[in-house]
Structure 1
Amino acid sequence: MFENLAFQLFISVLIGGVIGLERESVGAADSRGSAGGIRTFALVSLLGGLAGFFYREHIQSVFLFLSSFIGLLVLAYYIVGTLITKRTGLTNEISVIYTFLLGFLVTTGIVPMQIVLALLVIVLLILSLKTRTKRLMLGISSKEVEAFISYAIIAVVVLPFLPNTSFQLGSIPSIHSFFGNYNIDMGQWAQLEIFNPRKIGLIVALVTGIDVFGYILGRIFGEKKSFTLASFVGGFISSTSTTQALAEKSKKSTLLRPLIGAALIANMASFIQIFLLVGPINSKWLVYITPALFIIIAASLGLALLHLFDGKKDLKEQKVGKEKNAKSDAIFSLIPALKFAGLLIVVKLVTKVCLILFGQSGFIISSIIASFAGLDAILINLADMAGNIITFKMALVTFLLVNATNLLSKSFFAWLQGDKRFALRFFLSSVFIVATSFISLLLVR
């Protein structure tokens, strides 16, 4: 059926009509108008379909004529539009070109019809984003643009050129002779990896990329009135900062249960973030710990909903401030990224040294101590070592312990900064989440 020319031309007309309908709806709300509506775009797509047919039949002269005609028509429209309306946008003109190309692809059969329809959906999606993107762009400052560019330079320009070489302790010049002077055999210490520039760069780009993504979510949803949504976004950026902010808020509010629910939502967001953090580093270990993550997320969500629904009447009266649900106003800064890289190198060295000296218990204890400085570096270290230096199960046990330490430490900070009743209820909720998380050990081998 797809090979029938009449059917292909009919599909081309439909594709053009759909795009024209979207453009006409935009033109109705725009005083400057648009490049056309349903009929114009349907005709353009039909011309594209005919051009594709002539191209397929090797009638190049007609194909070139139709293609040149559309190209000159678009160019003329742009020039006249620029002179008369003083507009400089190219969306309408590019829409016409894409419509012509989609009609061309339908009749040539260069790509399957399913791909053509998928491209149509993508074009419609991009065109429909005009209002949202305009609203977002109006609030973007030059500093934010510079921050995005800086992150792009790190992730796209610098990262690919970092050497993918592991620098080990034994590779340090003259270190063997130095220890040899003291009659010390380095043995397995010589194989101790200090750092791999490519791995460190990838991890820094990944972690800061998650921060950038969280910032974008904050910009999109931060102005909304939804208490839980704002807490979720804040937790995605920094669950510790969001929990502390809510704890401080509890001293000035009598509505403790909605605040506790919001704090649990924020921490649930940080557990969801683990999928983004661990997946690119060690997908097999991520699959292994997925039952544990689902249990932790389900327990957090269940308790959060319990608290939120209990105080839902009061919750509607609350608004979340946007001043403390992020780490800082900066999107991306090189100094914090380098500090995180340094912290990660130290954590990896200390835990590996403890593993060599004291075995599994030393590794677990050192990881727990390091978790007070943050969970991201520990998780990345576990993902990097799981299946290589330590077993998947040992990495899971360590994760559950450091997560318990990190979660319970937030209760301590809440006790210092917030209402004692808030801290107590958050502590009891944390204990429940920690207790249920260890059930996952029964589900793995």
Structure 2
Amino acid sequence: MPDLALFDFLPAWVFPFLVALAIGLLIGLEREASPHPANERPIGVRTFPLITVLGFVSAHWFPLPVFLTTLVLFGLLLLGSYLLANFGRPSLGLTTEYSALAAFLLGGLTASGHLLAAMIIAVIVTLLLASKEPLHGFIARNIGRAELVAIIRFALVSLVVFPLLPDQNYTALQFNPRKIWLMVVLVSGLSFLGYFGAKLLDTRKGVLISAIFGGLVSSTAVTMSFARLSKSNPQLSAGLASGIILASAMMFLRQAAVAWAINPRMGQLLALFVLPAALLGALFFWRTQHQVQESTDVPLRNPFELTQALSFAAIYAVTLAAAQLALDYYGQAGVYALALASGIADVDAINLSMAELSMDGRLVLSVAVGGALLAGLSNTLVKTGLGVGLGDRRLRPYLLWGMGSMALSAGAGVFLLALWY
């Protein structure tokens, strides 16, 4: 909240009133500037400040029943105005009417002293109003039925299924259904971010966007796509290799982000050790990306299917159990061997297992970070093999240098952890 000491010479209500007035002006400017039919006079830059002032006055100087009564009457006035304006012709949207109700409530919010909250909400409301065409265009271009169903399913498993699962441990291996499902929500959410980020920015615009967002979803998919593209476009091999390397660098950063969400201490330490690998990938991309002049595209799959979520939950549960058994029977060496083997297919399950076990104190932090690094190392080597096998011969030296450097960096991290801890 702003420091009101500068306004001590004014009555206490003046500064909140000015904030309410500014909020009305902000929303009113957007409404006035937005397109509207030529024969329609918009509710705009004069009316919205009056609305926020009405909300402020009714909340500041009158008891709550008066504010609520005013809100109801104002809502009825908006409804009557809407029905009258649309009588006998196709109905228009209700966006302006909803905005007016929001402005009234924001005026009341400033009167209650929540100035910062009111300002933040006002800015968000204005951004949403101003984003009509970009949002509608994005949805029309990128959100089909499959994406909509996936979003609904993700909301179902994260907002409905997750809270209903029991939050208690079962068996000696301490399986907790809610914690296991939390990992599904976390990994799926991060993949959603990459998938829709790629769609929003359009991966066909270049290697950089494809590598960054594709790496968040699946660096393996980026590797296979770019490697095959190099077969038909061998002159682009250097730039495509840089895209593969950058996507793999994003995988290391994704590992640190996921670990940080579960166990901040592990995430911080892992970030320290994956940063060199990520920087190497970014440096290699910076030095070679100019060699790609044509557009590229990575056919990313929709990141959320129920069967895929259930499969990951099962894989994570098995990996978590295997990590505990490896630790009990073979110690640190067993954990490292499991991490190397798991990373061949995927790094998420073993990375989450390391974070979970280290958070509970069942696994030493340095061993957990070392296991995550080894999983990243083996996954990087597998992608190198895929790139070399599927790509043009000109792609191979770049991949061997770039991916090899990242793998060596991850291996050096494990070695340093063994020395320091």
TM-score by length of 1: 0.84
SS at match of 1:386: helix
Taking the aligned partners of 1:236 and 1:77, their CA distance within structure 2 comes to 48
The yes-or-no answer on 1:41 pairing with 2:48 is yes
The yes-or-no answer on 1:377 pairing with 2:380 is no
Q: What is the CA distance between 1:49 and its match in structure 2?
A: 2.7
Taking the aligned partners of 1:398 and 1:150, their CA distance within structure 2 comes to 32
Instruction: Pick the aligned partner of 2:132 from 130, 133, 139.
Output: 130
Instruction: Pick the aligned partner of 2:270 from 289, 296, 308.
Output: 289
Q: What is the CA distance between 1:376 and its match in structure 2?
A: 0.8
Which stretch of the first structure deviates more once superposed, 94-103 or 64-73? 64-73
Given residue 116 of structure 1, which amino acid in structure 2 is its aligned partner?
A
| Contact persistence 2:150–2:305 (CA under 8 A) | yes
In structure 2, do the counterparts of structure 1 residues 53 and 377 end up closer, same or farther at CA, with 3 Å as the change threshold? closer
Taking the aligned partners of 1:138 and 1:37, their CA distance within structure 2 comes to 28
SS at match of 2:297: coil
| Contact persistence 2:32–2:45 (CA under 8 A) | yes
Given residue 26 of structure 1, which amino acid in structure 2 is its aligned partner?
S
Q: For residue 240 of structure 2, what is the aligned residue in structure 1?
A: 259
Instruction: Pick the aligned partner of 1:355 from 309, 324, 327.
Output: 327
The yes-or-no answer on 1:101 pairing with 2:101 is no
Taking the aligned partners of 1:47 and 1:213, their CA distance within structure 2 comes to 40
| Contact persistence 1:35–1:93 (CA under 8 A) | no
Q: How many pairs does the alignment contain?
A: 407
Given residue 338 of structure 1, which amino acid in structure 2 is its aligned partner?
L
Given residue 40 of structure 1, which amino acid in structure 2 is its aligned partner?
T
In structure 2, do the counterparts of structure 1 residues 31 and 364 end up closer, same or farther at CA, with 3 Å as the change threshold? farther
Q: For residue 3 of structure 2, what is the aligned residue in structure 1?
A: none
Taking the aligned partners of 1:223 and 1:31, their CA distance within structure 2 comes to 39
Given residue 157 of structure 2, which amino acid in structure 1 is its aligned partner?
I
Instruction: Pick the aligned partner of 1:416 from 364, 369, 389.
Output: 389
In structure 2, do the counterparts of structure 1 residues 23 and 34 end up closer, same or farther at CA, with 3 Å as the change threshold? farther
Taking the aligned partners of 2:196 and 2:324, their CA distance within structure 1 comes to 36
Q: For residue 285 of structure 2, what is the aligned residue in structure 1?
A: 304
Given residue 251 of structure 2, which amino acid in structure 1 is its aligned partner?
S
Which stretch of the first structure deviates more once superposed, 380-389 or 430-439? 430-439
| Contact persistence 2:373–2:413 (CA under 8 A) | no
In structure 2, do the counterparts of structure 1 residues 115 and 339 end up closer, same or farther at CA, with 3 Å as the change threshold? closer
| Contact persistence 2:370–2:413 (CA under 8 A) | no
Q: What is the CA distance between 1:3 and its match in structure 2?
A: 4.4
Q: What is the CA distance between 1:99 and its match in structure 2?
A: 1.4
In structure 2, do the counterparts of structure 1 residues 158 and 34 end up closer, same or farther at CA, with 3 Å as the change threshold? farther
Taking the aligned partners of 1:383 and 1:123, their CA distance within structure 2 comes to 38
Q: What is the CA distance between 1:66 and its match in structure 2?
A: 4.7
| Contact persistence 2:258–2:267 (CA under 8 A) | no
Listed one character per residue, the Cα deviations across residues 350-388 of structure 1 (whole Å, up to 9, x for unaligned) are 333232222221221122112112111110111111252
Instruction: Pick the aligned partner of 1:428 from 390, 401, 405.
Output: 401
Listed one character per residue, the Cα deviations across residues 322-341 of structure 1 (whole Å, up to 9, x for unaligned) are 4x3x2x2x342111222222
Taking the aligned partners of 1:47 and 1:192, their CA distance within structure 2 comes to 61
- Identical residues among aligned pairs (%): 26
SS at match of 2:61: helix
Matches within 5 A, 1:214-293: 214-222=194-202, 225-253=205-233, 254-293=235-274
Matches within 5 A, 1:3-18: 3-18=11-26
Given residue 23 of structure 1, which amino acid in structure 2 is its aligned partner?
R
Listed one character per residue, the Cα deviations across residues 365-418 of structure 1 (whole Å, up to 9, x for unaligned) are 122112112111110111111252221111122222221111011111111111
| RMSD of Structure 2 on Structure 1 (CA) | 2.5
Q: For residue 407 of structure 1, what is the aligned residue in structure 2?
A: 380
Taking the aligned partners of 1:159 and 1:8, their CA distance within structure 2 comes to 41
Q: For residue 209 of structure 1, what is the aligned residue in structure 2?
A: 189
- Structure 1: stretches of 5+ with no match in the other structure: 169-190
In structure 2, do the counterparts of structure 1 residues 396 and 9 end up closer, same or farther at CA, with 3 Å as the change threshold? closer
SS at match of 2:98: helix
In structure 2, do the counterparts of structure 1 residues 84 and 19 end up closer, same or farther at CA, with 3 Å as the change threshold? farther
The yes-or-no answer on 1:321 pairing with 2:294 is no
Taking the aligned partners of 1:393 and 1:225, their CA distance within structure 2 comes to 41
Q: What is the CA distance between 1:84 and its match in structure 2?
A: 4.8
| Contact persistence 1:154–1:205 (CA under 8 A) | yes
Taking the aligned partners of 1:164 and 1:101, their CA distance within structure 2 comes to 38
Taking the aligned partners of 1:60 and 1:348, their CA distance within structure 2 comes to 56
Instruction: Pick the aligned partner of 2:28 from 20, 27, 30.
Output: 20
| Contact persistence 1:34–1:92 (CA under 8 A) | no
Q: For residue 144 of structure 1, what is the aligned residue in structure 2?
A: 147
In structure 2, do the counterparts of structure 1 residues 358 and 72 end up closer, same or farther at CA, with 3 Å as the change threshold? closer
Taking the aligned partners of 1:412 and 1:356, their CA distance within structure 2 comes to 33
Q: For residue 60 of structure 2, what is the aligned residue in structure 1?
A: 53
Taking the aligned partners of 2:40 and 2:201, their CA distance within structure 1 comes to 31
| Contact persistence 1:27–1:33 (CA under 8 A) | no
- The structure with the largest alpha-carbon Rg is 1
| Contact persistence 2:384–2:400 (CA under 8 A) | yes
Given residue 354 of structure 2, which amino acid in structure 1 is its aligned partner?
L
Q: What is the CA distance between 1:204 and its match in structure 2?
A: 1.5
Q: For residue 180 of structure 1, what is the aligned residue in structure 2?
A: none
Taking the aligned partners of 2:71 and 2:310, their CA distance within structure 1 comes to 52
Taking the aligned partners of 2:217 and 2:353, their CA distance within structure 1 comes to 20
Which stretch of the first structure deviates more once superposed, 68-77 or 299-308? 68-77
Listed one character per residue, the Cα deviations across residues 88-134 of structure 1 (whole Å, up to 9, x for unaligned) are 5221001111212222333x2x1332222222212212222211221
Q: For residue 393 of structure 1, what is the aligned residue in structure 2?
A: 366
| Contact persistence 1:13–1:46 (CA under 8 A) | yes
In structure 2, do the counterparts of structure 1 residues 413 and 331 end up closer, same or farther at CA, with 3 Å as the change threshold? closer
In structure 2, do the counterparts of structure 1 residues 402 and 8 end up closer, same or farther at CA, with 3 Å as the change threshold? closer
SS at match of 1:280: helix
Q: What is the CA distance between 1:16 and its match in structure 2?
A: 1.2
In structure 2, do the counterparts of structure 1 residues 166 and 64 end up closer, same or farther at CA, with 3 Å as the change threshold? closer
SS at match of 1:167: coil
TM-score by length of 2: 0.88
